[in-house]
């Protein structure tokens, strides 16, 4: 009976106590009481959980913290079972659930919370990205921050963080507060290309410097010009296209290396293309003069972004009249010397085309050759062109000369 009373008293005490919830279905009669078990503590403290336990054996405390459980054995101080938790056991913030068990029978369970130790604020974890953004205020880098105490715990929600941002030579400070242990801040670009430097601070702890490169925004339309030595279509000189400095709409020069395509349409609708990359905003493209009189329309594009005006560019023919002499029964045609725009021999390599048609005007063959020292020749061997009447049309630099010839069989073999 005395034992029964004692149990009742302890039970009463327990139910008035601050802590713990009784769960044990007393398979074995064990009286127990938790003594002064705190609800909250700070990382780095130590704790001794004390219980008055009467009866029962093999006491063990299951302590379940964030990363997993542990078992702790008691020491006995008088009537008290004391479970000592050293500071390193309680270094991590968060909830700790415990269960007091006596040889697998659950006596008591409860929990306490370990709070981050604000006084030992040690560092601030910062992650910054993307590290390359575009000017114009529509794009941003995000700064993600986790302020930490000395035990690597995120500081409590509502911790004030200061973000310093240096951009366009101006320094800005932004305040943010943490939620769920972290805070983030979107840092938008300005209209000016350059670099954004940021750091974050909590209490007196600062992060290192973080950088994001603000590159110019999309280029806007631009103009082009050309340079050439002369306006003759000699197929020998190079014409140079040059853009005006490419800028975005905020006046930032586009990044070096921006690709510019120069697209040319000639009088026949044929398309030619050259390209260049920008250096200090200016792109240059080069292309060989045409070999015949041409009328070019040139437009430059930065693909997907901008284009230039369309520029007209005309070339005059570089070749005057030319002579054609036949020999060996018309089986050899010698052309030239062909003279250029100032009476010089045309440069080597000028294209000459010969169209050969039969007496009915049906195209039989097209032969090409190039000038060398102002001259060129075609051979019409018997094997390919049996004796008959042919129409020969010579064409160079869009100048055509036509001949009706009778090829004999005793000529060139």
Partner 1 sequence: MDWNRLLIRAVLIASFLGMNALIVFGISSVWSYLNTGADRSTRLHLNLEEVTAYLPKVEWDTSKVEGRPMEAQTLAQIERDYLHGWYVRNTALFDNNRYGIADYFTEGARAKIFGLLDFNRKQNASFKQTTLSHRPELAFYSADGTQVYFTDRKVELYQRAYENGSPLFESVETTGYKVIMLLEDGFWRTRHFTKIPSSDKVVGAPVRLSNGTLGAIRNIKGVNYYPQDTPWDVFGKKYDEAIIAKDFELIRHMGWNTIRIFIPYEDFGAVHVDGQKLAKVRSLLDRADQNGLKVMVTLFDFYGNYDVLDWTLTHRHAEQVVKALKDHPALLAWDLKNEPDLDFGSRGEQTVLAWLREMNRQVRNWDQENAITVGWASPEAAVHLNDELDFVSFHYYREVSEFKEAYNTLKASVAEVGKPIVLQEYGISSYGGIWNAFGASEEKQADYYKEMQGILKEEGLPFLFWTLYDFNQVPNSVVGWRPWRKQPQRYYGCFDKKGEPKAALDYLRQTE
- Interface residues for partner 1 in 46-85 (CB under 8 A)? 60, 62, 64-73
* Shortest spacing between CB 70 and partner 1, in angstroms: 6
Distance CA 11, CA 264 (A): 98
Pick the closest to residue 283 from 245, 234, 326 (CA basis): 245
* Shortest spacing between CB 66 and partner 1, in angstroms: 4
| Nearest residue (CB) to partner 1, 97 versus 316 | 97
* Shortest spacing between CB 183 and partner 1, in angstroms: 10
| Nearest residue (CB) to partner 1, 180 versus 360 | 180
The DSSP bridge pattern shows strands 105-115 and 40-42 to be parallel
Of 52, 94, 311, 408, the residue at the interface with partner 1 (CB under 8 A) is 94
User: 19: buried, middle or exposed (CB in 10 Å: 19+, 13-18, 0-12)?
Assistant: middle
* Shortest spacing between CB 141 and partner 1, in angstroms: 7
Q: Taking CB under 8 A as the rule, does residue 32 contact partner 1?
A: no
| Nearest residue (CB) to partner 1, 101 versus 307 | 101
**Of the listed pieces 123-131, 276-284, 298-306, 317-325, which binds partner 1 according to CB under 8 A?**
123-131
Buried b (16+ CB within 10 A) or exposed e, 39-75: eebbbbeebbbbbbbeebeebebebebeeeeeeeebe
Q: Taking CB under 8 A as the rule, does residue 144 contact partner 1?
A: yes
> What is the total residue count of the chain?
413
Q: Taking CB under 8 A as the rule, does residue 87 contact partner 1?
A: no
**Of the listed pieces 76-84, 93-101, 279-287, 292-300, which binds partner 1 according to CB under 8 A?**
93-101
* Shortest spacing between CB 95 and partner 1, in angstroms: 4
β-pair partners for 51: 34, 81
Distance CA 254, CA 280 (A): 8
Q: Taking CB under 8 A as the rule, does residue 137 contact partner 1?
A: no
Pick the closest to residue 385 from 356, 354, 361 (CA basis): 356
Stretch 328-357: interaction string toward partner 1, x if CB under 8 A: ------------------------------
390: three-class secondary structure by DSSP = strand
Dihedral-angle region of residue 236 (phi above 0 means left; psi in -120 to 50 means alpha; beta otherwise): alpha
Q: Taking CB under 8 A as the rule, does residue 95 contact partner 1?
A: yes
The DSSP bridge pattern shows strands 132-134 and 210-215 to be parallel
Of 7, 80, 89, 282, the residue at the interface with partner 1 (CB under 8 A) is 89
**Of the listed pieces 2-10, 145-153, 347-355, 370-378, which binds partner 1 according to CB under 8 A?**
145-153
Distance CA 354, CA 401 (A): 10
Of 37, 146, 319, 354, the residue at the interface with partner 1 (CB under 8 A) is 146
DSSP assignment letter at 36 = S
**Of the listed pieces 44-52, 76-84, 146-154, 192-200, which binds partner 1 according to CB under 8 A?**
146-154
Q: Taking CB under 8 A as the rule, does residue 106 contact partner 1?
A: yes
* Shortest spacing between CB 107 and partner 1, in angstroms: 11
The DSSP bridge pattern shows strands 170-177 and 47-54 to be unpaired
Tokens 């350059």 belong to 194
β-pair partners for 34: 51
Q: Taking CB under 8 A as the rule, does residue 280 contact partner 1?
A: no
Of 33, 50, 101, 331, the residue at the interface with partner 1 (CB under 8 A) is 101
- Interface residues for partner 1 in 148-187 (CB under 8 A)? 152-154, 180-182, 184, 186
Cα atoms in the Cβ-side hemisphere of radius 13 Å centred on 103: 9
Q: Which two tokens stand for residue 84?
A: 């000592």
DSSP assignment letter at 118 = G
Q: Taking CB under 8 A as the rule, does residue 96 contact partner 1?
A: yes
65: three-class secondary structure by DSSP = strand
**Of the listed pieces 127-135, 258-266, 329-337, 399-407, which binds partner 1 according to CB under 8 A?**
127-135
Per rule CB under 8 A, count of chain residues that contact partner 1: 47
Pick the closest to residue 246 from 257, 237, 236 (CA basis): 257
> Which parts of this chain interact with partner 1 (CB under 8 A)?
60, 62, 64-73, 88-89, 91-97, 99, 101, 103-106, 111, 113, 125, 127, 129-131, 140-142, 144, 146, 152-154, 180-182, 184, 186
């Amino acid at each position: 009976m005395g034992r029964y009373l004692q149990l009742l008293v302890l039970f009463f005490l327990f139910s008035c106590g601050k802590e713990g919830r009784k769960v044990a279905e007393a398979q074995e009669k064990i009286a127990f009481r938790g003594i002064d078990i705190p609800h909250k503590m700070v990382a780095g403290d130590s704790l001794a959980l004390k219980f008055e336990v009467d009866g029962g054996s093999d006491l063990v405390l299951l302590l379940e913290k964030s990363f997993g459980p542990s078992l702790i054995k008691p020491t006995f101080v008088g009537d008290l079972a004391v479970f000592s938790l050293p500071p390193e056991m309680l270094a991590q913030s968060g909830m700790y659930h415990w269960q007091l068990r006596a040889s697998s029978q659950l006596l008591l369970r409860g929990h306490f919370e370990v709070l981050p130790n604000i006084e030992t604020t040690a560092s601030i974890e910062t992650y910054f990205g993307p590290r390359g953004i575009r000017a114009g205020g529509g794009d941003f880098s995000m700064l993600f921050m986790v302020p930490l105490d000395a035990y690597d715990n995120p500081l409590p929600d509502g911790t004030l963080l200061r973000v310093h941002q240096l951009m366009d030579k101006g320094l800005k400070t932004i305040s943010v507060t943490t939620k769920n242990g972290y805070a983030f801040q979107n840092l938008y670009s300005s209209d000016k290309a350059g670099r954004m430097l940021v750091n974050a601070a909590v209490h007196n702890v600062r992060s290192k410097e973080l950088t994001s490169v603000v590159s110019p925004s999309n280029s806007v339309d631009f103009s082009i010009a050309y340079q050439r030595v002369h306006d003759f279509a000699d197929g020998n000189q190079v014409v140079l296209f040059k853009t005006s400095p490419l800028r975005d709409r905020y006046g930032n020069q586009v990044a070096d290396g921006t690709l510019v395509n120069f697209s040319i349409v000639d009088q026949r609708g044929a398309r030619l293309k050259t390209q260049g990359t920008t250096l200090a905003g200016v792109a240059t493209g080069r292309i060989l003069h045409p070999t015949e009189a041409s009328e070019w329309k040139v437009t430059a594009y930065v693909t997907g972004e901008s284009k230039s005006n369309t520029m007209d560019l005309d070339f005059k023919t570089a070749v005057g009249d030319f002579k054609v002499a036949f020999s060996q029964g018309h089986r050899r045609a010698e052309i030239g010397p062909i003279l250029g725009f100032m009476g010089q021999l045309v440069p080597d390599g000028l294209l000459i085309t010969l169209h050969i048609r039969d007496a009915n005007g049906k195209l039989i063959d097209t032969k090409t050759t190039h000038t060398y020292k102002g001259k060129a020749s075609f051979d019409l061997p018997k094997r390919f062109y049996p004796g008959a009447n042919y129409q020969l049309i010579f064409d160079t630099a869009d100048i055509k000369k036509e001949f009706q010839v009778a090829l004999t069989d005793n000529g060139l073999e």
